Amino acid sequence: MKIGIVGAGSMGHAHAPAWIELKSQGAELVGILANHMDSTVNTLAEQHGAQVYSTYEELLAAVDIIDLCVPTDLHHAMVVQAAEAGKQIVCEKPIALTVAEGRAMIKACHAAGVRLFIAMVVRFVPQYAIAQQTVAAGQIGTPAVIRLTRAAYQPRKATDNWFVDEQRSGGMILDLMIHDFDYARWIGGNVVRVFAKSVRASRPDAPDDYALVTLRFANNAIAHIEGGWAYPAGIFRTSFDIAGTEGVLEWTSDTAETVQSFLVNAPLQAAAEVGLPTALSAESPFTTELRHFYEALIHDKPFSVTAEDALAALQIASAARESLQTGRSVTIDQEAL
Amino acid sequence: MRIGIMSFAHIHAESYVQNLRQAPDVDLIGFSDTDAERGQHFAEVFNLRWFPTHQALLAERPEGVVICSENSRRRELVEMAAAAGSHILCEKPIEVTLRDAQAMRDICAANHVRFMTAFPTRFAPSLLSVKAMLARNELGRLYAANGINHSEIPREHRAWFAQKALAGGGAVMDHTVHLVDILRWLLGCEVSEVYAEVDNLFYPGEVDVDTAGIVLLTFENGVFASIDCSWSRPTSYPRWGHFKMDLLGENGFVTVDALAQHLTLYSKRATRHPQWINWGPDSNQGMINEFVASIREQREPLITWRDGYEALRVALACYDSAHSGQPVRLEHG
């Protein structure tokens, strides 16, 4: 099937090589579209043997699958337009800025008979996937207290840094913590109550960039989610600690990488625009993620993470933001989905 | 492609079943094992066809076989497989004497079958990245390496690992060969001198093999490297053991912990407290894929009989050195 990517930022750059990995299964990356401020689009397209397109309509007309790696405020309109054009859709997380928009996107895809896959990549990161399997196998009994951390530095795109504009990204809580809200749901099930505290730590002019959020689950389990864009550039820490009635499962990125080198006169590595966790592994989690999408699509099988899951994670993130506004806990209304 | 497993004596056979099932275009036809109890057990566990004799498996004409017998029974199985025209992936150490190992090479050559030695660590992304660093000369001139492949005693899984007659030795036989192979591969030259302190410090009176060993090798290019191959981890340790290596060069050093990618599980249901669960890539899969590819492409595998032989030679030299208390020279024609 023919694929077109919209967006040549950090996610466009992560998805393009992943599609190339799926070539043998029939995936063909044919086009990339990016706005005029993204000067890297030509290089990205050239490296992956794709054409640069200048309008969304032209790209849609040329592909079977559209892969939206664009700022969050564009998700709703672009997904709806792609659905109306009858295209299968991959869309970066979070699904949308608001639950209402997200719901409308799911409805539009349903009405058009196309499938919508929200790229919740953490579900495809090996240590997170294996931890979930271990929990599902009953190794720790029933999850009781879940602690998740994802703490990085503020995205620092040289031009058009939409991440720091809350109107466009929803801020750190929607853009970054969404991963762990989704992961917490995967481990603990539905969430019923949310409470949050946040601070502007790294720069007075930036939106909230560090938050601690508590979740209460329908089965009474509790979660603590830490998220941040408050660290010095280049640092990205993630960890989980899942305590159940029969045991505990731990992992932290503070443990050593498989390979570390310490060289005299080594050039200082500049921090990437947007922090992404790194780990030397056989396959990029973006490849694993898009392979899952592609195989489920061509074999007509369900996605392991649905657009409804992505919407539920957004609902938790929105509740966390509401709690910050009100200073009170927020009850999640499952019916609202 | 039809592949079979000969013997389930070696615990790795259990992993290879999964790897062969995931390898592209492989038909895993079953396994042979002359131990009926073990055969029936694993046939049930893996829902896999069991052949009560090796000849019965070979009669099915597999294009390749993976030999997972006890160390001292590999030659016998290699001879059967080669005579039947099957290409061979052989567990390490490939045998227990150099004479047996040489006979294996000869029978494979006579029957035009290829022989690959099972050194999966060569397919670990961490070690491949070190290999690439060295190719770019980032460390400059290499000086020394400090290697660790210590583990628990494997007798809990299979008793023969700690029996001289079947294993040919203990910790040194079991756990020097991997790092010897990795170092030969990284440095691109052979071991010229072997010194080893070897003893049975952990299970005296319980087993008739060595359980502790520190080996100090010198390579032809002057690099010296140590290997800790001891069965020094208690069986309650969070995992069987480690694969680590520090490499020092004129521009700095690189430190490798090939199995660092693990979770820590504390479970009332687990046998280890805590237990480390690997989330990193499975090097065995890369090795099995290479074996299959070498058969399909009718070429020598990336890891050959020579690699298995040289590693065995170093392991045996460790015992010579331990016996004499002096370094042993290895000549390379």
Closest residue on chain A to B264 (Cα): A250
pLDDT at residue A268, as a whole number: 59
Q: Is the pLDDT of residue A189 over 80?
A: yes
Q: CB distance B125–A250 less than 8 Å?
A: no
Q: Is the pLDDT of residue A278 over 70?
A: no
As a whole number of angstroms, the distance between CA B68 and CA B47 comes to: 18
**Structure pTM?**
0.82
Q: CB distance B260–A256 less than 8 Å?
A: yes
pLDDT tens digits for B262-286?
Answer: 999 999 988 898 999 999 999 999 9
Q: How many percent of chain A have pLDDT more than 90? A: 72
Q: CB distance B257–A258 less than 8 Å?
A: yes
Q: B133 and B177 in one domain?
A: yes
Q: B200 and B322 in one domain?
A: yes
Q: Which long-range contacts (CB under 8 A, 24 or more apart) does A78-81 make?
A: A78/A6, A79/A105, A79/A108, A79/A109, A79/A116, A80/A104, A80/A105, A80/A108, A81/A56
Alpha-carbon gap: B35 to the closest alpha carbon of chain A (Å): 32
Cβ atoms B58, B34 nearer than 8 A: no
Provide residues of B within 8 Å CB-CB of chain A.
124-126, 129-130, 133, 138-139, 251-270, 274, 277-282, 285-286
Q: Strands B50-51 and B27-32: what pairing?
A: parallel
As a whole number of angstroms, the distance between CA B294 and CA A69 comes to: 40
CA distances (Å), origin A15, targets A6, A18, A40, A67, B309: 10, 5, 14, 8, 44
Domain spans of chain A, in order of start: 2-119, 123-299+310-331
Closest residue on chain B to A242 (Cα): B265
Range with lowest mean pLDDT among B25-34, B38-47, B210-219: B210-219
Of B235 and A302, the one with more pLDDT:
A302
Residue A249: list chain B partners with CB under 8 A.
Answer: 263-266
- Last residue in a domain, options B61, B79, B113: B113
Q: B216 and B70 in one domain?
A: no
Confidence of residue A91 (pLDDT cuts 50, 70, 90): very high
Q: Is the pLDDT of residue A38 over 70?
A: no
Q: Which long-range contacts (CB under 8 A, 24 or more apart) does A217-221 make?
A: A217/A188, A217/A189, A217/A190, A217/A191, A217/A192, A218/A189, A218/A190, A218/A191, A218/A192, A219/A142, A219/A188, A219/A189, A221/A142, A221/A143, A221/A144, A221/A145, A221/A146, A221/A188, A221/A189
Q: B102 and B129 in one domain?
A: no
Q: B127 and B101 in one domain?
A: no
Confidence of residue A272 (pLDDT cuts 50, 70, 90): confident
Confidence of residue A127 (pLDDT cuts 50, 70, 90): very high
In a domain, B291, yes or no: no
3-state secondary structure of A47: helix
Q: Is the pLDDT of residue A24 over 80?
A: yes
As a whole number of angstroms, the distance between CA A155 and CA A275 comes to: 7
Closest residue on chain A to B245 (Cα): A259
Of B100 and A247, the one with more pLDDT:
B100
Confidence of residue A156 (pLDDT cuts 50, 70, 90): confident
Alpha-carbon gap: A53 to the closest alpha carbon of chain B (Å): 36
Asked if the interface predicted TM-score (ipTM) of this complex is over 0.95, the answer is: no
The structural domain count of chain B equals 2
Q: Is the pLDDT of residue A31 over 90?
A: yes
Cα distance from N-terminal residue to C-terminal residue, chain B: 38
Instruction: For domain A2-119, give the CATH number.
Output: 3.40.50.720
Provide the CATH number for the domain around residue B232: 3.30.360.10
Average pLDDT on A53-82 reads 97
Q: Is the pLDDT of residue B13 over 80?
A: yes
Average pLDDT on B257-264 reads 94
Q: CA-based angle A83:A86:A89, to the nearest 5?
A: 55
Alpha-carbon gap: B250 to the closest alpha carbon of chain A (Å): 9
Confidence of residue A22 (pLDDT cuts 50, 70, 90): very high
As beta bridge partners, residue A216 has A193, A222
Domain that holds residue B28: 2-113
Provide the token pair at B46.
């893996």
How is residue A256 annotated by DSSP?
A: P
Cβ atoms A170, A94 nearer than 8 A: yes
Average pLDDT on B237-261 reads 91
As a whole number of angstroms, the distance between CA B165 and CA B73 comes to: 10
Mutating which of A183, A251, A261, A287 best tests the B interface, going by the most B Cβ atoms within 10 A? A261
In a domain, B297, yes or no: no
Q: Strands A116-119 and A88-92: what pairing?
A: parallel
Q: Is the pLDDT of residue B236 over 80?
A: yes
Task: Give the one of A260, A265, A266 whose C-beta lies nearest to B255's C-beta.
Answer: A260
Residues 6 or more apart whose Cβ sits within 8 Å of residue B190:
B184, B219, B220, B310, B330, B332
Q: CB distance B129–A247 less than 8 Å?
A: no
pLDDT at residue A210, as a whole number: 85
Q: Is the pLDDT of residue A233 over 90?
A: no
pLDDT at residue A19, as a whole number: 97
Q: B155 and B262 in one domain?
A: yes
Is residue B135 exposed (0-12), middle (13-18) or buried (19+ Cβ within 10 Å)? exposed
Residue A265: list chain B partners with CB under 8 A.
Answer: 251
Provide the token pair at A145.
């207290």
Q: Which residue has the tokens 């030679």?
A: B313
Provide residues of A within 8 Å CB-CB of chain B.
126-127, 129-131, 134, 138-141, 246-251, 255-266, 279-283
CA distances (Å), origin B266, targets A264, B19, B161: 40, 28, 28
Q: CB distance A127–B261 less than 8 Å?
A: yes
pLDDT tens digits for B62-113?
Answer: 999 999 999 999 999 999 999 999 999 999 999 999 999 999 999 999 999 9
Residue A24: list chain B partners with CB under 8 A.
Answer: none
Confidence of residue B295 (pLDDT cuts 50, 70, 90): very high
Confidence of residue A89 (pLDDT cuts 50, 70, 90): very high
- Structural fold of domain A123-299+310-331: Dihydrodipicolinate Reductase; domain 2 (3.30.360)
Closest residue on chain A to B267 (Cα): A247
- Last residue in a domain, options B89, B113, B137: B113
pLDDT at residue A204, as a whole number: 61
pLDDT tens digits for B149-193?
Answer: 999 999 988 999 999 999 999 999 999 999 999 999 999 999 999
Provide the CATH number for the domain around residue B59: 3.40.50.720
pLDDT at residue A95, as a whole number: 98
3-state helix, strand, coil split of chain B in percent (to 5) is 40, 25, 35
How is residue A272 annotated by DSSP?
A: P
In a domain, B99, yes or no: yes
Q: CB distance B265–A249 less than 8 Å?
A: yes
Q: B325 and B274 in one domain?
A: yes
Q: B321 and B193 in one domain?
A: yes
pLDDT at residue A269, as a whole number: 64
Q: B312 and B244 in one domain?
A: yes
Cβ atoms A209, A152 nearer than 8 A: no
Task: Give the one of A141, A266, A280 whose C-beta lies nearest to B126's C-beta.
Answer: A280
- Last residue in a domain, options B93, B113, B133: B113
Q: B141 and B7 in one domain?
A: no
Provide the token pair at B5.
């497993």
Q: Is the pLDDT of residue A277 over 80?
A: no
Residue B251: list chain A partners with CB under 8 A.
Answer: 263-265
Mean pLDDT estimate for chain A:
91
pLDDT at residue A206, as a whole number: 67
Q: CA-based angle B176:B177:B183, to the nearest 5?
A: 95
Of B194 and A266, the one with more pLDDT:
B194
Q: B221 and B134 in one domain?
A: yes
Q: B127 and B32 in one domain?
A: no
Amino acid type, A299: H
Q: CA-based angle A105:A110:A112, to the nearest 5?
A: 95
Closest residue on chain A to B280 (Cα): A281
Alpha-carbon gap: A153 to the closest alpha carbon of chain B (Å): 23
pLDDT at residue A37, as a whole number: 64
